[in-house]
Amino acid sequence: MSIYKAYQVEEISEKNFAGKVVELDTNDLPAGDVLVRVQYSSLNFKDALSASGNKGVTRNFPHTPGIDAAGIVIESTSADIEVGAEVIITGYDLGMNTAGGFGQFVRVPANWIVHKPTDLTLYESMVLGTAGFTAALCVDKLIGAGLHSEQGEVLVTGATGGVGSIAISLLHKLGYSVTASTGKSEAEGWLKELGASNVIARQELSEPSTRPLLKEQWAGVVDCVGGHTLFNAIKSLQYGASAAACGLTESTDLPATVLPFILRGVNLLGVDSVELPLARKRFVWELLGTSWKLEGLSDVAVDIKLDDLSRCLPELLQGKARGRYVLSLGD
Ligand SMILES: NC(=O)c1ccc[n+]([C@@H]2O[C@H](COP(=O)([O-])OP(=O)(O)OC[C@H]3O[C@@H](n4cnc5c(N)ncnc54)[C@H](OP(=O)(O)O)[C@@H]3O)[C@@H](O)[C@H]2O)c1
């Protein structure tokens, strides 16, 4: 038994949720093969939804959110996961209906676990977290669909967010030219430092357009926002190019017609980081620790502690966050 600290969200009155730092007992964690002492977690849009009581993410409260965790194995009943191993857990049910990385311990099934790539620290793995991992999945899908660097600009929407900012850094590292779309005009300089060559205002893409097609512009799109923005981006894809859709911060709707698909042969690629088979997760994490390793990850990181969560989580919901919040769970 160990007593540990965690950020726990409770329904304090009907549909009114609040979180605070509490002490919990590892004996009360759910059953699982592997007990991990969490060193770092990170904040994702889904954590903000869970912490605000979104029942599509978390059904039962009190609950410890945190869809990401990186730490050291303390107990294991699995032959594949040795005690002392440094591991990463992202997605599956972590932080949704299983107590997540906003606590100093998690207990999870062995088949949720990825061994940390050798050249990535636990801290760096959580600067990336689900957001960085998802950015890598988007880029990997676009490349798999034929994206190459001579084609021109790749559009990234929701550019200052976790997925967007890492997608820009990754595309830049891999030799692509990036246009960043953002609602934060003051972030232009920062987005250019990350590797964007152009920055455009969110409104340029978010207004509905009645035109069936728009001028061919993008060699590829990483879309974090959905809605009119995604359809306008699809209408502006070059012939045969692809958009990778991973997010919904503007809307879950896609107000679309089939015309760009049947007149320009463009592709819409779905990206899911949560239920992706473990072998694929391990492969993409290895990529992020080797040939796709980003230098200067700390440039996108904001370091926080458990006590900061009540302030930082609402910033994500309001679209005010920039880059990646990394939660340190050491004493
Ligand atoms: N498919 C998956 O497996 C997966 C994995 C991770 C995340 N996601 C989803 O991907 C999206 C981005 O995640 P994230 O971690 O990057 O979130 P985030 O850090 O909160 O960033 C989201 C960004 O979206 C933009 N935005 C916010 N409100 C908006 C609005 N009303 N209209 C248009 N843009 C808006 C903002 O960027 P600007 O101010 O720069 O425009 C904001 O920084 C979320 O919807 C998340 O749920 C999906």
Task: Identify the CATH number of the domain in which residue 256 sits.
Answer: 3.40.50.720
Q: Is residue 282 part of a domain?
A: no
Structure tokens given for 58: 């978390």
Structurally, how many domains does the chain consist of? 2
**Does residue 138 sit in the same domain as residue 262?**
yes
Alpha carbon nearest to ligand 1 atom 39, residue = 183
Element at 289 (helix H, strand E): helix 278-289
**Does residue 99 sit in the same domain as residue 42?**
yes
Give the number of other CB atoms < 10 A from CB of residue 53. Answer: 18
Rounded to whole angstroms, how far apart are CA atoms 120 and 149? 26
Give the number of other CB atoms < 10 A from CB of residue 29. Answer: 20
Q: Is residue 277 part of a domain?
A: no
**Does residue 264 sit in the same domain as residue 211?**
yes
Q: What is the pLDDT of residue 324?
A: 95
Ligand 1 pocket test, candidate residues 249, 312, 322, most atoms within 8 A of CB: 249
Among 270, 285, 314, the domain boundary falls at: 270
- Give this prediction's pTM: 0.96
Ligand 1 pocket test, candidate residues 52, 224, 280, most atoms within 8 A of CB: 224
**Does residue 112 sit in the same domain as residue 217?**
no
Q: Is residue 212 part of a domain?
A: yes
Task: Judge contact between 126 and 47, C-beta under 8 A.
Answer: no
Q: Walk along the chain (331 residues) and give the pLDDT tens digit of each residue.
A: 699 999 999 999 988 999 999 999 999 999 999 999 999 999 999 999 999 999 999 999 999 999 999 999 999 999 999 999 999 999 999 999 999 999 999 999 999 999 999 999 999 999 999 999 999 999 999 999 999 999 999 999 999 999 999 999 999 999 999 999 999 999 999 999 999 999 999 999 999 999 999 999 999 999 999 999 999 999 999 999 999 999 999 999 999 999 999 999 999 999 999 999 999 999 999 999 999 999 989 888 999 999 999 999 999 999 898 989 999 998 6
Cβ–ligand 1 distance for 246 under 6 Å, the answer: yes
Q: What is the pLDDT of residue 178?
A: 98
Task: Judge contact between 61 and 53, C-beta under 8 A.
Answer: yes
Q: What is the pLDDT of residue 112?
A: 97
Q: What is the pLDDT of residue 300?
A: 87
Q: Which residues contact 172 (CB under 8 A, 6 or more apart)?
A: 178, 194, 195, 196
Ligand 1 pocket test, candidate residues 41, 43, 45, most atoms within 8 A of CB: 45
Q: What is the pLDDT of residue 37?
A: 98
Q: Exposure string (b/e) for 83-92, b if CB count within 10 Å is 16 or more?
A: eebbbbbbbb
Q: What is residue 75's DSSP assignment?
A: E
**Does residue 70 sit in the same domain as residue 98?**
yes
Among 253, 270, 287, the domain boundary falls at: 270
Which is the closest atom of ligand 1 to the Cα of 49? 47
**Does residue 73 sit in the same domain as residue 160?**
no
Cβ–ligand 1 distance for 232 under 6 Å, the answer: no
Which is the closest atom of ligand 1 to the Cα of 323? 19
**Does residue 79 sit in the same domain as residue 160?**
no
**Does residue 66 sit in the same domain as residue 174?**
no
Q: How far is the CA of 109 from the centre of ligand 1 (A)?
A: 28
Q: Which residues contact 8 (CB under 8 A, 6 or more apart)?
A: 19, 20, 21, 22, 24, 62, 63, 64
Cβ–ligand 1 distance for 160 under 6 Å, the answer: yes
Q: Is residue 275 part of a domain?
A: no
**Cα dihedral across residues 91, 93, 94, 95: positive or negative:** positive
**Does residue 104 sit in the same domain as residue 164?**
no
CATH classification at residue 302? 3.90.180.10
Which is the closest atom of ligand 1 to the Cα of 180? 40
Cβ–ligand 1 distance for 46 under 6 Å, the answer: yes
Q: Is residue 248 part of a domain?
A: yes
**Does residue 181 sit in the same domain as residue 63?**
no
Q: Is residue 303 part of a domain?
A: yes
**Does residue 184 sit in the same domain as residue 92?**
no
Q: Is residue 156 part of a domain?
A: yes
Q: What is the pLDDT of residue 296?
A: 86
**Does residue 257 sit in the same domain as residue 204?**
yes
Q: Is residue 291 part of a domain?
A: no
Q: How far is the CA of 184 from the centre of ligand 1 (A)?
A: 13
- Range of the structural domain that residue 79 is part of: 3-116+296-328
